[in-house]
């Protein structure tokens, strides 16, 4: 599934996609204590280190340096409202259909159903709560959009580069 997400979220002429998942850190002052909300088979809240510290999965962590603590709380609160919801597998299908249309984002724009989030949609929607986007509307966001945007934007600080946490 991870390889498919990276393949179908790659834009025409774009270099190889590096990431296939995204989440929102909703609490924590250290990586080892951070609590994350992410859309897996269900949207879950759990310890970042507990899940990924020994998994071998690569993780990158970014922080927006331009938002207030109140904005951070609003983002976290919005992300938490999705905890317990089922994963939006149909949203993945819309990414594939848009890929078949050479990345026109037709199906993702049409699929505005909020009941079933996917990981990148969840992150982008939480930040949309405070008026921020990742260079694309939240309904069209893919993990690679978020990653590339944060790498390129001066408003985002790379706290931990892509790699294993352990």
Alpha carbon distance 48, 28 (integer Å):
10
Strands 156-164 and 58-64: antiparallel
Domain 2-164 in CATH 2.40.50.100: no
pLDDT of residue 96: 65
Between CA 166 and CA 56 the distance in angstroms is 8
What is the predicted pLDDT for the residue at 5? 47
CB 36 within 8 A of CB 127: no
**In the block, residue with structure tokens 């179908």:** 8
Q: Beta strands 35-39 and 43-47: pairing type?
A: antiparallel
pLDDT in tens, the chain (166 residues): 555 544 445 555 666 667 889 999 999 989 999 999 999 989 999 999 999 998 989 999 999 999 999 999 999 999 999 999 987 665 666 656 666 656 666 655 566 656 668 899 999 999 999 999 999 888 888 898 899 999 999 999 999 999 999 7
Dihedral class, residue 148 (left if φ above 0, else alpha if ψ from -120 to 50, else beta): alpha
Cα–Cα distance, 70 to 130 (Å, whole number): 10
What local confidence, expressed as pLDDT, does residue 25 receive? 97
Residue 135's pLDDT is what? Answer: 93
Tokens, residue 59: 């993780």
Secondary structure class of 157 (helix, strand, coil): strand
């Amino acid at each position: 599934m991870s390889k498919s997400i990276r393949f179908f979220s790659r834009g025409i002429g774009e270099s190889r996609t590096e990431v296939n998942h995204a989440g929102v850190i909703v609490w924590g002052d250290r990586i080892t204590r951070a609590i994350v909300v992410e859309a897996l088979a269900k949207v879950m809240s759990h310890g970042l280190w507990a899940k990924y510290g020994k998994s071998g999965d690569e993780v990158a962590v970014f922080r927006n340096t331009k938002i207030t603590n109140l904005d951070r709380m609003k983002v976290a609160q919005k992300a938490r409202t999705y905890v317990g919801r089922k994963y939006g597998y149909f949203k993945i299908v819309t990414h594939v259909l848009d890929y078949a249309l050479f990345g026109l984002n037709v199906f993702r724009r049409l699929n505005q159903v909020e009941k079933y989030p996917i990981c990148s949609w969840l992150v982008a929607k939480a930040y949309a709560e405070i008026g921020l986007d990742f260079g694309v509307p939240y309904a069209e966001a893919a993990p690679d959009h978020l990653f590339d945007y944060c790498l390129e934007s001066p408003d985002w600080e790379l706290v931990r580069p892509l790699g294993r946490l352990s």
